[in-house]
Amino acid sequence: MLGQQWRRIVIKVGSALIAPENKGCSTRYLLAIARFISECRQRGIEVILVSSGSVAAGRSAIAFSHQPVPVHIKQAMASVGQYQMMQRWQSLLDCHCGQLLLTHDDFHNRRRYLNIENTLRTLLSHQVLPIINENDSVATAELKLGDNDNLAALVATAVDANVLIICSDIDGLFSANPRSNPAARFIAEVDCISPEIFAMAGGSHHSVGTGGMVTKLQAAQKASQQGIDTLIVNGQKPAVFEALLQGKAAGTLFHRQQERISAKKHWLLHSLKAQGTLRLDAGAVTALQHQGASLLAKGITAVQGQFEKGDAVLLCDQHGQPVAKGTSQFHASELHQIKGLHSQQITAQLGYCGREEVVHRDDLVLLSASEAAAQSAG
């Protein structure tokens, strides 16, 4: 059933599976996952592994008992743990492995994004297993993707995978948190990730993880929009991987969407981190949503955040709800001066000739209700 359709998969393994006791790398759960990867490769299925856990794996080498752990201590832990983690995966997998460490900036920059895509395709063509992690040893808060669930979805899009498997320490999506609510109902399949689905998600309960169900839903939404099925499975249960290899259902399946958005708009929506917010009047919102218009300065009522020309910004209605996302043609300081002005007044106000459009229609993507919820959560 499922496995027969697989050609290329991305599998994400979280910190709770890499270092379950927060004392360095462990093979406790990795053996079954490694066997699954090896069997997929033997069947001719290409696999990309996104592996969290460098910070958790390095905790045993860098003694630090206080909480919260400072950034420079976490980065030191990551530098040790990444090496240990790669060694562990290499010892479990009977193939060549290649390491890629990425930051948000690598996906923000279009040229780097294409380089990521080309590198991954080259590794796969030479039967090398790519192992990807966020570059925790050097990434600053501004450059961090924040979690490897969303990183895995971006990777799945870059390599045109047809399934994303997110290995967690829970069986899948429930109607409520099953750890605190015994009446929580397991949800086997999801056709569309709506705001109601996001409302079911709780935060991360695990001390070594950075993601929770919210980030997994964000990842599933990113992937499904690009025609990629997504599975959230319990990576602590070897039977899960046996079932998948037999084509049986396991975990929660998020069905791929039939209508794919363009590659540029997908990149804008999911790869660019919004650096600011523009509040719009009702007329501007209507023009964007129903008339295919660009955003002009006249329709802006408020500017929030510090951003440069070319940065992504969220466009919000009068109530602060995101309705679109796009790249600004002006600096934040410039928009503070020209918001509410007609286009012909911009040159007189700034002292030089700027663009007529603040966000051009070609550099803008409208947000559905679930996308708006994901952008707000992110």
Identify whether residues 308 and 259 lie together within a single domain.
no
Nearest CA-CA partner of 253 in 261, 262, 244: 244
Out of 265, 294, 317, pick the residue that ends a domain.
265
Neighbours of 236 (CB within 10 A): 18
Domain total in the chain: 2
């804008």: which residue's tokens? 268
pLDDT higher than threshold 50 for residue 265: yes
Mean pLDDT value across residues 312-321? 94
More confident residue, 332 or 273: 332
Count Cα atoms within 13 angstroms, Cβ side, for 329.
18
Residue 284 banded pLDDT, cuts 50, 70, 90: very high
Q: How many residues does the chain have?
A: 378
Identify whether residues 196 and 299 lie together within a single domain.
no
CATH number at residue 17: 3.40.1160.10
Host domain of residue 302: 274-372
Out of 265, 298, 331, pick the residue that ends a domain.
265
pLDDT higher than threshold 70 for residue 211: no
Query: Residue 378: inside a domain, yes or no?
Result: no
Identify whether residues 17 and 163 lie together within a single domain.
yes
Mean pLDDT value across residues 317-345? 94
Query: Residue 226: inside a domain, yes or no?
Result: yes
Identify whether residues 294 and 253 lie together within a single domain.
no
Residue 121 banded pLDDT, cuts 50, 70, 90: confident
Identify whether residues 326 and 209 lie together within a single domain.
no
Identify whether residues 47 and 141 lie together within a single domain.
yes
Tens digits of residue pLDDT in 91-120: 999 899 999 988 877 877 777 877 888 899
Residue 230 three-state SS: strand
Query: Residue 377: inside a domain, yes or no?
Result: no
Predicted local distance difference test score (pLDDT) of residue 332? 95
pLDDT higher than threshold 60 for residue 33: yes
pLDDT higher than threshold 70 for residue 143: no
Q: Are 227 and 257 in contact (CB under 8 A)?
A: yes
Mean pLDDT value across residues 347-360? 86
Identify whether residues 103 and 191 lie together within a single domain.
yes
Out of 202, 236, 265, pick the residue that ends a domain.
265
Identify whether residues 303 and 238 lie together within a single domain.
no
Distance CA 303, CA 325 (A): 14
Identify whether residues 52 and 154 lie together within a single domain.
yes
CATH number at residue 360: 2.30.130.10
Written as one string, the DSSP assignment of 278-333 is EEE-HHHHHHHHHH-PPEEGGGEEEEES---TT-EEEEE-TTS-EEEEEE-SS-HH
- In angstroms, the Cα distances linking 356 to 274, 286, 297, 314, 343 are 22, 19, 8, 19, 6
Query: Residue 252: inside a domain, yes or no?
Result: yes
Residue 182 three-state SS: coil
Distance CA 150, CA 271 (A): 9
Query: Residue 120: inside a domain, yes or no?
Result: yes
Identify whether residues 84 and 13 lie together within a single domain.
yes
Tens digits of residue pLDDT in 129-142: 999 988 765 554 54
Query: Residue 150: inside a domain, yes or no?
Result: yes
Identify whether residues 319 and 361 lie together within a single domain.
yes
Identify whether residues 259 and 283 lie together within a single domain.
no
Predicted local distance difference test score (pLDDT) of residue 127? 95
Query: 152: which residues sit within 8 A by CB, 6+ positions away?
Result: 10, 12, 50, 132, 164, 166, 219
* Global pTM value: 0.72
